[in-house]
Amino acid sequence: MLLPLVVTLVSSTQVPALAVVATGSTHHAAAVRASAPDTTAAGFWADFASSRNYQLKALPGRDLLVLLPKERSKPERSIDLIERALKRVDAMLPADATTATASAPAAAAGLWGAADRPLDQGTMVVGLFRQPADFAAALAALGAAFPYLKDWTASATGLPGCILERPLFGACVDKVPGMEEWSPDHELVHRAAQLATIRRCGRQPVWVGLGMGWNVEFDVLKSIYCFPWRDSFVRATEHGGWENDLRRTYEKGKPRPVDAADLAAIRRGSFEVGDAALTWGFVRFLARHHGERLLPLLREFNAQRDVLGRVPTGDGRNWTMAADFELPAEEQARLIAETVAPDALQQAADWFRQGSNWKKPSVAKK
């Protein structure tokens, strides 16, 4: 099955703020406010929802909107699945003193998709579209509002869904012709998990987003059906047999650590079962055995990307972010060693081999 490119655009044209007109008339000020465009996520999707017979629902206590067809008989099921996915992300990446509260939507009110969105703020929108034509119309609306998305949206209309970093938007089509094992429930859970990870931790290596999505999907729905960029046959064992795959892989030959180069080599646009098992397994290892270090690690990935991914402008006085920059393998390995444990990559490989018999070292090896 195919999952579209995770679009991550980090440099953009700044949108000017609305001017505030100072007058002595309260009535005039109220009129100015009433005529100002609604730049929130809800305002952006209101016309689309009404014109195409969709319902726009907010999750209580969450800065997230769900866009669903009005005829969907049990919208509460989709909303419940997304809420369960967000709770699992919260458990894996718990907010701390350095994060803004995720339960205060008012804090993120304003321009949806702003380039300077702080971490852990901004409204997420998850859409389930009844047919590809509606998804294409949604992409067209995004391309018209965000010029830096225009070329991509024009080429993505045939895809079954997407995940965007800016604005925070994830979507899938309810039914995809020709895809026998397509599951919108799994797609919603997986995409909501990836969006929540981006919102809290910023831009991540490809394996992190996939690993978070698959772990949440597995924990919430007890199997995996979301296979990014895959168009080959899916065996029954591939919906939940990755733990056994990892054990067999790391039992072979001389004991060796997980290679950060294998993680860093995972790119958008292709799917390989061994890579999928590795991303799922390594994120699962971190969450289960170094849970308190997972959020700091992902924050470090994002921070280092902001440093190393800068490209000077032609005049040499400013810089932009390279849209396709990926954190080098050696940098990822360094951050894992410094943030998690010096031998974290070896620990993960040992856990893959030994399973429940593995014991976490009391003192990390250098």
The pLDDT value recorded for residue 78 is 93
The pLDDT value recorded for residue 141 is 95
* Alpha-carbon span 339 to 92, nearest angstrom: 16
* Alpha-carbon span 101 to 115, nearest angstrom: 20
The pLDDT value recorded for residue 15 is 28
In the predicted structure, residue 52 carries a pLDDT above the cut 50: yes
Q: For residue 82, give Cα distances in angstroms to 57, 97, 125, 238, 303.
A: 12, 25, 11, 23, 28
The pLDDT value recorded for residue 183 is 87
In the predicted structure, residue 145 carries a pLDDT above the cut 50: yes
The pLDDT value recorded for residue 56 is 95
Mean pLDDT of 162-175: 93
Instruction: Report which of residues 199 and 235 the model is more confident about.
Output: 199
Residue carrying structure tokens 């005529």 = 35
Q: What is the tens place of the pLDDT at every residue in 152-163?
A: 998 888 888 899
**Among the ranges given (87-96, 201-210, 253-262), the one the predictor scored with the smallest mean pLDDT:** 253-262
Instruction: Report which of residues 301 and 274 the model is more confident about.
Output: 301
Q: What is the tens place of the pLDDT at every residue in 101-133?
A: 444 444 445 689 998 899 999 999 999 999 999
In the predicted structure, residue 230 carries a pLDDT above the cut 90: no
Mean pLDDT of 223-247: 72
The encoded tokens of residue 138 equal: 């949604």
Give pTM, 2 decimals. Answer: 0.84
The pLDDT value recorded for residue 20 is 30
Which range is most confident: 35-49, 160-174, 217-231, 287-301?
287-301
Residue 364: band (very low, low, confident or very high) from pLDDT cuts 50, 70, 90: low
The pLDDT value recorded for residue 179 is 66
Mean pLDDT of 310-327: 78
Mean pLDDT of 317-343: 90
Average pLDDT, the chain: 83
Residue 33, exposed/middle/buried by CB under 10 A (0-12, 13-18, 19+)? exposed
The encoded tokens of residue 229 equal: 């960029």
In the predicted structure, residue 94 carries a pLDDT above the cut 60: yes
